[in-house]
Amino acid sequence: MNIEEIYLRHVDTIYRLCHMYLKNPDDAQDATQSTFEKLLVRKEPFESTEHEKAWLIVCASNLCKNMLKHWYRSKRTDVEEMAVLPAKETPHDETLALLYELDEESRRLVYLVYYEGYRITEVAKMDGVNESTLRSRLARAREHLKLALEEDEE
């Protein structure tokens, strides 16, 4: 297992996922780094590249959830919330920007299915959630995005 190859293969995906959760580039970088630090201490080899990617996604998701629950995060004011984001941090894709309006679970699900190309069965296996539950969440998220896009057109 070559850590550098794994890092180069998945760093962009993990960073984008962390950014979707944390909505802050600095926190997303910290979470990405922590995810790969956890990989350094992992002893078991991965079954495949897909297993490796799935493990990193679950690990990053859990780290981000823990960061969001941390007391410090609720007691501080983010500089990014007070100022306009620089142009390079502004999402170029209108739909991607609308994802931030979804709840955490829906945002992650839409991202994994539509931006990373995972199937519902794969996400269900990663998360240990029933497939029909994920299908319902995805349908609600799509409906929410559809309504938001229609509002923007008006």
- Beta-carbon neighbour count of residue 122 at 10 Å? 17
Report mean pLDDT in 10-residue bins for the chain, 154 residues: 88 93 90 94 90 94 89 53 44 66 86 87 90 92 86 72
- 141 token code pair: 């998220």
- pLDDT attached to residue 102: 85
User: pTM above 0.85?
Assistant: no
DSSP code string of 8-42 = HHHHHHHHHHHHHHH--HHHHHHHHHHHHHHHHH-
- pLDDT attached to residue 133: 93
- pLDDT attached to residue 93: 59
Domains along the sequence of the chain with CATH: 1-83 (1.10.1740), 91-154 (1.10.10.10)
- 132 token code pair: 């029909």
- pLDDT attached to residue 55: 94
- In tens, the pLDDT along 92-116 reads 456 667 777 888 888 888 888 888 8
1 near 45, Cβ under 8 Å? Answer: yes
- 30 token code pair: 């910290």
HSE on the CB side for 87, CA within 13 Å?
A: 0
